[in-house]
Amino acid sequence: MTISADTQITDLTVDDHACLTFGEPEDLFDLTAAFVRDGLDGGLKVVWLSDATPDRATAELARRGIVVDEALASGQLVAASYEGRLLAGQVFSTGQAMTWLAREMATAGDRGLRLAVDMSWALGPVTGVEQLPEFEEKVAAAVAGTTVSVLCQYDRERFDPVTLASVAAFHTRSVAAATYYADVMLRICRQYAPPGIRLAGELDYQAAESLALALTEAIRLEGDVTVNMAPLAFIDVACARMILDAARGLNPGTPLRRMILRCRPGLAARFVLLGAAEIPAVRLVTVDDH
Amino acid sequence: MTTDGDGRPPPDSAAPPDSAAPPQSAPILDQAFDAGSLYTLRAAVVAHATEAGLAPGRADDLVIAVHELAANAVRHGAGHGRLRIWRSEAALLCEITDDGHPDAQDAQDAQDAQKVPEWRTEPGHGLSLVRQVADHTSMRSGRDGTSATISFALAAPGPPFRLDRQEMDGCTVLAVTGPLDLASAVQLSRTMEDVLNDDDKLVLDLTNLTGWDSAGLASLITAQQQVSATPNARMILAGLPAHLEQHLRQAQLRDRFTLADSPIQAAKTVSEP
C-alpha cells in the first residue's frame, strides 16, 4: 500500500507555484479538472496550456462535470496551445514565455489567475529547452506574493528524474493523485473531478484494506461520491459488498448524498444481483467498454 | 453445506464427484491455486470458458463463481486448493477442492477481520452470488476438506435474441425470444422504459427465452424494480421455462416476481382491478 504525502490538488491557494506529476492521461485530466473547477468557483481567470487541441481539452473538462460553455464564452476560461505563448515555432525562450505570463497576469488583474501548463512541450524537439530550469525559477519569482497560482504538469513516465529534480526546487508544493494501492494488476486512487475514487484493473479481497481507506476518505468529503470503475475489469463479492455497505452508510439526510457507481455492464449486473438497486443512495451508471 | 455419507471428499480421480459428468474424460483445466495465484486462476478460467464456447457474459459469471469458491478455500480452508474443469457436450463442470480443516473459529475470526466497523455489513458471502450465476451448485464438507461443484450449461443452438411488443386485453405483452444476456439485456431495459411511459399493465412473455446470464437476470430484477416504483403498475412473467424457474428458486429470486403459466392467463390476471 502506498499513500502519497503530496499536497492535494484541492489544497492549492493563491501564489502557489506547484509541480504536478502524473502517470497517465486520466490523472492529468482529473487533477486539471479539479484545479480549473476550484479556480472558476473562486471567480479567478483560468488558463490551461496543453498539447491537446482546445476542443479536446475543454471536452475532457466537461466530461468531468466542469460547466465550460459559459466560462469559455465570458473569457473566464481559456484552453490554448503553446504556440505564441511559450513557443514560437519550435523555439522556446524564457524571455518570450515570461513576457506572455506578465501579459496574462496584467489582464487578469485583481481578479486573480490560475494557470495550468502541461510541460510535455519540453519533451519535443524544441530549441532552448535547456532554459527550462531558468523559466521555472523566474515563474516562481513572478508569482510570489501575487494572486496568481501556476500548476506545472510533468508526466513522470516521460520526464527523466534528473530533469524533474532540477525543476522541483523552484516549486512551492508538489501535487499528485492520492494513491491507495498500485501494482501491475490494480490501481486504487482518489478521483478529484467529480470527487470520489477510481479503480482500475482487477480488484479482489486482498486489496480490501486499501479500498476501505479510499472509500473512508472519499466519504469524509461533502457531496456525492463517485466510484469510477470504468477501467475495472473484475471485482469480487467482498469488495463489491464493501462499496455497497459504504453507500448504505451515507447519511440519508437532506440533501441526500448519493454514491454514483460508474462501471461496465457486466459489473453493473453484479452490483444489481448484490442488491444495489435497493439502496436509495446508489445510482448505477453503465459505461461502454473501452 | 451438505456432507456426504462418510464425511469424506470424493475420491481423487479424474472423474468429478457428479454423475452428470463424463467419468472417463480428462479435465480441460487442472490447476492448483493459493492467495498469490487467484489472478492467474481467473485468467485461465476465462480463457478455457471462452474456448469452450461460453458467451462473454456467461464466461464472466463462471470466473466470479470460481473466484469466490477458490477465495473461500484460501481464506477459510487450507489456504490453497485445486480447480478442475471438465467439459461435456452440454456443460462445463468445475470442481474446487481444498484439503484443509475449516475450523469454525478460524472462519469466524477471518470474517470478523474483514468487517469495517463503521459500516453495517450484510450477512452472507460470495456463495449466494455463486448460486445466482451457476446452473447447479453443490457443496461437500468433511474432516478431510471441502469440495464445491458448479456447472454451466453450454448454449445449445437456438434462435437469436428478439423482442416483440403487442397489445392484448388492455395490457402490453413483451415477448422475449432467445438469450437474455450481456449483449441483449440493454434492449429489454430500454424497451421497459418506453413501455412504462405508455402503459402500467405489463406481461413479459418468456415462453421462448432460451437462457440468461447475470446481466439478463439483473435486467429482469431492474425491470421489476422499475414497475414496483411506478404507481399502479404491475408486471407478470409468463411461460418461464421450468429449468429457468428452477434457477430463480436456487438463486432465491423467485419471490421477487409474479409468474403465470401462459401469456393469456397473465394478461387476464394483470388486467384485474
B39 touches chain A (CB under 8 A): yes
Check whether B258 has a pLDDT greater than 60. yes
pLDDT, chain A, mean: 92
Q: What is the pLDDT at residue A2?
A: 36
Residue of A203, A236, A248 best to disrupt the B interface, most CBs of B under 10 A: A236
Which one of B75, B120, B132 has the shortest CB-CB distance to A273?
Answer: B132
Helix (H, G, I), strand (E, B) or coil at B139: strand
Pairing of the two strands B136-142 and B145-153: antiparallel
Q: Same structural domain for residues B250 and B147?
A: no
Taking an 8 Å cut-off on Cβ atoms, the answer to whether B64 and A216 are in contact is no
- Residue B24, domain member (yes or no): no
**B14 in a structural domain:** no
Q: Per the structure, how many domains does chain B have?
A: 2
% of chain A beyond a pLDDT of 90 = 76
> Could you read off the pLDDT of A97-106 as tens digits, one per residue?
999 999 999 9
Q: Which of B108, B125, B153 is the last residue of a domain?
A: B153
Same domain (yes/no): B132, B173: no
- Alpha-carbon distance of B46 to B221, in angstroms, equals 26
Q: Are residues B146 and B198 in the same domain?
A: no
For residue B39, the chain A residue with the least C-alpha distance is A202
Place of cell 464466461: B59
End residue of a domain, out of B135, B153, B171: B153
Q: Is residue B114 part of a domain?
A: yes
Q: Say what the pLDDT of residue A4 is.
A: 42
Is position B13 within any domain? no
In a domain, B201, yes or no: yes
Mean pLDDT computed over B183-212:
92
Sort out which chain A residues have CB atoms less than 8 A from B134's CB and list them: none
Residue B55 belongs to some domain of the structure: yes
Sketch out chain A's domains with CATH numbers: 9-175 (3.40.50.300), 179-286 (3.30.750.24)
Alpha-carbon distance A210 to nearest alpha carbon in chain B (angstroms): 12
On the question of pLDDT at B119 being above 50, the answer is no
Q: What pLDDT does residue A254 have?
A: 64
Q: What is the pLDDT of residues B77-88, one digit of tens each?
A: 889 999 999 999
Domain end marker among B130, B153, B176:
B153
> What is the rounded average pLDDT of the residues B48-54?
94
Exposed / middle / buried, residue A134 (Cβ in 10 Å: 0-12, 13-18, 19+) = middle
Same domain, B127 and B217: no
The residue written with cell numbers 470474517 in the block is B111
Span A203-225, average pLDDT: 95
Question: Do B112 and B216 sit in the same domain of this protein?
Answer: no
Within this chain, do residues B173 and B67 fall inside the same structural domain, yes or no? no
CA distances from A209 to A63, B78, B209 (A): 30, 22, 42
What residues make up the domain containing B193? 162-271
- Whole-number pLDDT of residue B103: 52
Is residue B33 domain-shared with residue B132, that is, in the same domain?
Answer: yes
In this prediction the pTM is: 0.86
Q: Hey, is B168 helix, strand or coil?
A: strand
Confidence at residue B91, expressed as pLDDT on a 0 to 100 scale = 94
Residue A11 touches chain B, beta carbons under 8 Å: no
Which CATH number do you get for residue B101? Answer: 3.30.565.10
> Quick one: B86 and B54 in the same domain?
yes
A248 vs B: CB within 8 A: yes
Residues B235 and B131 in one domain: no
If one compares B143 and A33, the residue with the highest pLDDT of the two is A33
- Same-domain status, B43 and B143: yes
| B219 shares its domain with B149 | no
Residue B166: give its domain's CATH number. 3.30.750.24
Three-class SS of residue B236? Answer: strand
Q: Number of H helices and number of E strands within chain A? A: 9, 15
Judgement on whether residues B233 and B176 belong to the same structural domain of the protein = yes
CA distance A154 to A113: 20
Q: Which position has the higher pLDDT, A84 or A253? A: A84
